[in-house]
Amino acid sequence: MASNSTPDGCGASVTSLYYNLCDLGVVWGVVVEAVAAAGGVVSILLFTSLLASLPFIKGAARRSSVALHAVFLVGTAGLFFLTFAFIIGKDFSTCASRRFLFGVLFASCFSCLLMQSVRLNILARRSQVPPPWALCLGVLALWLVEVIINTEWLVITVTRRPPDPFNATTEAGQAAPCNIANWDFVMALIYVMTLLLAALVASLAIMAAKRSEWRTDGVWIFLTCLLSVAVWVAWIAMLVSGNRRTGEPSWDDPTLAVALVANGWTFILLHAVPGICGLAGGGQRDEGQDLFPDRGVGYETILKKQSPHVFMENQAFCMEDNPQVSKPESPYSGYSGQPRSAVYQPTELALVTTATRQEESSCDVIIPRASAGSAHTGRSQPSTHAESGKVTQPSSLVLHKTSQW
């Protein structure tokens, strides 16, 4: 009889608690299971790519959001994995995890969206980069509030109806954590809905700031929160009154499972993917920094700084084609290759001697010379010949000696 009651797609060893995971007749379980598994894998891949892109993220403004994106992806992956608890049948462990993790995981995601909005508001209005540790502490504080609320609520409701040690079910045939009204489940999530509305309002304030370079990020956060509000309104309306009015109260678990998957993919497509893609590509635009700065000082680097034109690595061919192009001057043109000791350095004595020689050659001295005529004339006519500062002498000078005695 057990083998005859086993649905199509499930093995004989599968218990009835897991029939929704393999029953081909229950279409919603198989479809939601596949979509949730794909979302969990995509979340892990995005988290890995975020860690791999850390060396390529330039600018403190972009780096300050890395931790928030990481926490957001962890919470989103948790939402996809929590979907399996709503597909599996109800027992003590599954119902306890549903009631506790549903609000805790959504609180972590909405807290990250709220702190992202706060960070962008600070950047857009004050042009200051908030410290990442302050943003993480803000997310932790907002998240711990929901953890405390859910813990107290779960302890109070479970201890009010303690489970039977032999059969952990109540008189209605349901486990103690599962025996709760839908209104109570929704009312326990008021704080989570407050975080969602706060993130929505904070994202609107980004678009009203003066600096426009951060408005794109604010628009993505606004669309994420807006679509999340639509998903929450839809599943709350169906869970509280819609399913009972249509006569299908058994649709409560599918409604919550579809809400988890829909909101998880909203987080991925509208916030995670645009945010991670903008981390590496937006650093140069926002901070005005070069993605590959010159880390060494070489011949090419010096030429880049000397010439205002764009430097081409191979300029030999360009200069041969265009002879009018001024060749860049080498920074080592004044270097002769000789050591300092080999360079001639004149001493003081050499400087004085050189100065004396230059002074003698520069002075024009005209020395008068006497030329004597023939002795029998009895007279002599002195003559001086100077031409262009040079002393000229007669070609033949005959000296006649006469005896004075």
Find the helix or strand (DSSP H, E) in which 295 lies. Answer: none
Comparison of pLDDT for 308 and 274, the residue scoring more: 274
Tell me how far apart the 2 most distant CA atoms of the chain are, in Å. 178
Contacts (Cβ under 8 Å, ≥6 apart) of 267: 72, 76, 79, 109, 224, 228
- Joined tokens for residue 199: 């993130």
Q: Would you state the pLDDT for residue 258? A: 94
Residue 308 in this model has a pLDDT that exceeds 70: no
With a cut of 70, say whether residue 395 has pLDDT above it.
no
Q: What is the pLDDT of residues 102-151, one digit of tens each?
A: 999 999 999 999 999 999 999 888 878 889 999 999 999 999 999 999 99
Tokens of 324: 């009018």
What's the rounded Cα separation, in Å, for the pair 89 and 257?
12
- Tell me the residue type at 186: V
How far apart are the C-alpha atoms of 201 and 63, rounded to whole Å?
Answer: 24
Cα separation, 239 vs 231, in Å, equals 12
Residue-range domain boundaries for the chain = 31-149+180-283
Q: Does 298 score more than 80 pLDDT?
A: no
Cα separations in angstroms, 183 against 87, 187, 239, 242, 260: 21, 6, 8, 13, 18
Q: How confident is the model at residue 281 (pLDDT cuts 50, 70, 90)?
A: low
Kindly report the average pLDDT of the chain as a whole number. Answer: 75
pLDDT band at 290 (very low <50, low <70, confident <90, very high): very low
> Per-residue pLDDT averaged across 184-210, rounded?
91
Four-way CATH pick for 31-149+180-283: 3.30.465.10, 1.20.1070.10, 3.40.50.300, 1.10.760.10:
1.20.1070.10
Q: Is 36 exposed, middle or buried (0-12, 13-18, 19+ CB in 10 A)?
A: buried
Does residue 255 surpass a pLDDT of 50?
Answer: yes
pTM for the full predicted model: 0.67
pLDDT score at 163: 52
pLDDT of residue 384: 45
Separation of first and last alpha carbons in the chain: 178
* 251: nearest Cα among 32, 22, 14, 24: 32
Q: Are 130 and 119 in contact (CB under 8 A)?
A: yes
pLDDT > 90: what percent of the chain? 36
State which of 50-64, 71-85, 269-283 shows the largest mean pLDDT.
71-85
For residue 150, give the H/E element and its range: helix 132-160
- pLDDT at 91 (0 to 100): 85
